[in-house]
Structure 1
């Protein structure tokens, strides 16, 4: 092997990373993320006020977006933006993450993000084509896993991972670690309002993910798939607790803040 050998796909990844078109489209992906978070926040706030208007999760956000004037075109634009972000993360996983102390972990994180953005792009395409909502529910997926040998342990592990991701989001928000994702040294060129939006948004998302993880863990312990659920079920669970509507209102506003932060990230993201 020559000294100048590089990982498979590295040349294509470098071209994508250097492409102005990919940069622009990837930033559009953050705009798409902002739109979806605002729609989820709107439904969550309505739920907290006792006026539920739909599912408070990504599928509900896609459905709501599609029902707006020009919604089909907007869904296609969202799909393109998320696809570009997925492509960018694939390239990052191949080429490596600049200044990362642990490249293996950083590459794995990029792969996970690429999968997430790819799934979101695919969901947007399905809703744009009028075929959204055809996937399996969290309950049916959990039931399938629980029926496997050792399924309860696997579901429990997934629940712990989701809780861990939630805790990571809260820590990232409180300690302002998200500034590393933005331009400037430690995000120094970003206005204070963007910092506050990021803090509120990451903490709110972390709380919501923690509840989702808790539901999955409950399903694992009780071996009852009906206990599992996604974001919509988590927000309903939150609402039904003592002082739940007030907490849900705060979380909904926090998710809206994350939407606002995503718009700012479209401008300041490190690409």
Structure 2
């Protein structure tokens, strides 16, 4: 019997097919986990905008919110597993190359490697929180972590330059994220042929609105880091929670924070759409 026929009809899979199936499952689980976190952070930021200043609108606050709910521990472990999947997906892209004609380029592999490091850190912080180590990265305050890290780097030789360049890089990444979202560059990564017209419209609303809000927050955080470097004051650096709160102190008042928080909720929904229709 032809082995290729066996494989195509549900017989033994080749190593490449098995790896591809595992990678796809990891990617979709990771995107779903990302969606949950962004939804919760956006919801917490909305509560802050409407007067509940005791909430912590960052990953730690989102995890604390989950842990206080029925079956919270189960959800935390599910998120941790999903984020581990996200990290492994990016690692697979760095090692074997991503899909598409340009997926094996060095720049694409390097980008995937950077994302692997980021999601490995996020996954480890959620795992620490899930096992009860709430003093770790997952349950810590992002603002304190940002200030402490900035203070340590500023004390190093050339520390001001390092913090300043990092801030410029973060701000530039924010602009890049926002512009790509507005230009709907994510279309290249979606299985548009499998989506109805209404689904595409919904994805565009969440993708553009969510990506623009996410880019704005990154850009603001980068500006605060540059300010900390220029003024040599670590306290000028801000984590996600303080960055979000800063929008409420603009001339637009809390309504700008409402818009950004709503954008985070949209990005959470967009992440679910990516989990469903993204090409992997």
State the 1:220 CA deviation. 0.4
CA-to-partner distance for each residue in 1:18-59, whole Å, 9 max, x for gaps?
Answer: 2x3442233121111111001100111111112224211111
Q: Which residue of 2 aligns with 1:62?
A: 63
CA deviations 1:155-185 (Å, max 9, x no partner) are: 0011011101100111111100112222247
Q: Is the 8 A contact 1:17 1:88 kept in 2?
A: no
Aligned length: 259
| Mapped pair 1:77 → 2:78 | yes
When residues 89 and 225 of structure 1 are mapped into structure 2, their CA distance, relative to the original with a 3 A threshold, is: same
Unaligned runs of 5+ residues in structure 1 are 1-12
- CA deviation vs aligned residue, 1:77-110 (integer Å, no higher than 9, x gap): 1111111111111111112232228812111111
User: Do 2:125 and 2:136's aligned partners in 1 also have CA atoms closer than 8 Å?
Assistant: no
Distance in 2 (CA, whole Å) between partners of 1:102 and 1:161 is 24
Between the aligned partners of 1:256 and 1:238, the Cα distance in structure 2 is: 16
Q: 2:173 aligned with 1:172, yes or no?
A: no
Runs of 4+ in 1 over 6 A off after TM superposition: 185-189
The equivalent of 2:5 in structure 1 is none
Segment drifting more, 61-70 vs 140-149: 61-70
TM-score, structure 2 normalization: 0.86
Aligned equivalents of 2:251 and 2:96: distance in 1?
49
CA distance in 2, matches of 1:111, 1:14: 20
TM-score (norm 1): 0.89
Deviation at 1:60, TM superposition (A): 1.1
Of 96, 115, 118, the match for 1:116? 118
Corresponding residue of 1:258: 267
- The change in CA–CA distance for 1:256 and 1:186 in structure 2 (over 3 A counts) is same
Distance 1:259 1:249, change over 3 A: same
Q: Aligned in 2, Cα 1:237/1:186: closer, same or farther, shift over 3 Å? A: farther
Query: Which one is further off, 39-48 or 91-100?
Result: 91-100
Please say which of residues 67-76 and 20-29 is displaced more in the overlay.
20-29
Report whether the alignment pairs 1:245 with 2:245. Answer: no
Return the index of the structure with the highest Cα Rg: 2
- Give 1:218 shift: 0.7
Write the deviation string for residues 183-241 of structure 1: whole angstroms up to 9, x where unpaired.
24798885211111100000000111111111101100001001111111111111112
The residue aligned with 1:218 is 227
